[in-house]
């Protein structure tokens, strides 16, 4: 990946990866992917000076590019080895897909906003990614055509785990998703073991809403295509939150 518009981005990305390691990210492959990826290419020109800060930033359509710590934490929780097919719900800027595509065999990324999907496709293809499939539609229903998936990452908050996504996960697969109310959620890693699941809390967080048939009703979503997210809608993390595991029978 090369970018002649910002000569110092590699040093900034490397420093960002070092900061994430200091915050507790341990997977060296994830950190290397962060260090290799020009995050500023996924942002509107007016926000590019903030690209290598560990903060979420508005990208239009009421959506955000997630905080790098959250991107790294979710990717680490997917436990990728390079052989997996991964479903991402919420393409957004395409930055999370870029990280996943460096660590998995194939990424399918879904987005309900056509303009965001087109922009992300353009950026990712310009950067040379060829193992990403782009789908426009209701992410709460997943994409059965490419199922089952070894890992599913959901980059917007759901009131509950969408059954359609759980049903498209392989046995032993990982679903990483923020679940909770509009005001705050828990970021969860759910691992499927036959008819049972093991759920681990990664941290407290706050994401934009996952809108769709098995998420938040579209009627409750008031952002226009030009809106920035509200101040409280950016992803946040609490690095003091301990991981917690619990086991459940059947659907989590």
Judging by beta carbons within 10 Å of its beta carbon (0-12, 13-18, 19+), is residue 243 exposed, middle or buried?
Answer: exposed
Q: Confirm if 225 and 115 have CB atoms less than 8 A apart.
A: yes
Choice among 66, 93, 117, 119 that is catalytic: 66
State pLDDT tens for residues 187-203.
999 999 998 999 999 99
Distance of CA 218 to the CA centre of its chain: 20
| pTM listed for this prediction | 0.87
pLDDT at 162: 98
Domain limits of the chain? 9-249
pLDDT at 46: 94
230 compared with 157, residue with greater pLDDT: 157
pLDDT at 8: 92
Pick the CATH number of 9-249 from 3.10.180.10, 3.40.50.150, 3.40.50.620, 3.30.413.10: 3.40.50.150
Residue 183 designated active-site: no
At 21, give phi and psi (nearest 5°). Answer: -60, -40
State pLDDT tens for residues 17-49.
999 999 999 999 999 999 999 999 999 999 999
State pLDDT tens for residues 84-107.
999 999 999 999 999 999 999 999
Lowest mean pLDDT segment, chosen from 65-79, 152-166, 214-228, 237-251:
237-251
Give dist(CA 217, CA 211) in Å, integer. 6
Residue-averaged pLDDT of the chain: 88
Give dist(CA 113, CA 229) in Å, integer. 15
């Amino acid at each position: 990946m090369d970018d002649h518009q910002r000569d110092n981005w590699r040093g900034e990305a490397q420093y960002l990866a070092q900061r994430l390691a200091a915050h507790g990210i341990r997977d060296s492959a994830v950190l290397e992917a962060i260090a290799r990826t020009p995050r500023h290419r996924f942002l509107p020109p007016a926000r590019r000076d903030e690209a290598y800060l560990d903060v979420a930033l508005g990208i239009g359509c009421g959506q955000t590019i997630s905080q790098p710590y959250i991107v790294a934490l979710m990717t680490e929780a997917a436990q990728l080895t390079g052989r997996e097919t991964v479903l991402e719900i919420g393409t957004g800027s395409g930055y999370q897909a870029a990280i996943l595509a460096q660590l998995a065999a194939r990424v399918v990324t879904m987005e309900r906003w056509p303009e965001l999907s087109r922009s992300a496709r353009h950026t990712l293809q310009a950067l040379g990614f060829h193992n990403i499939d782009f789908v426009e539609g209701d992410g709460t229903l997943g994409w059965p055509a490419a199922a089952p998936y070894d890992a599913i990452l959901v980059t917007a908050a759901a009131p509950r785990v969408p059954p359609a996504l759980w049903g498209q996960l392989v046995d032993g697969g990982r679903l990483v998703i923020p679940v909770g109310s509009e005001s705050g959620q828990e970021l969860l890693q759910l691992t499927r073991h036959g008819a049972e699941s093991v759920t681990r809390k990664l941290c407290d967080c706050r994401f934009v809403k996952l809108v769709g048939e098995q998420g938040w009703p579209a009627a409750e979503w008031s952002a226009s295509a030009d809106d920035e997210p509200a101040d409280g809608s950016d992803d946040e993390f609490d690095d003091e939150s301990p991981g917690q595991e619990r086991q459940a029978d059947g659907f989590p």
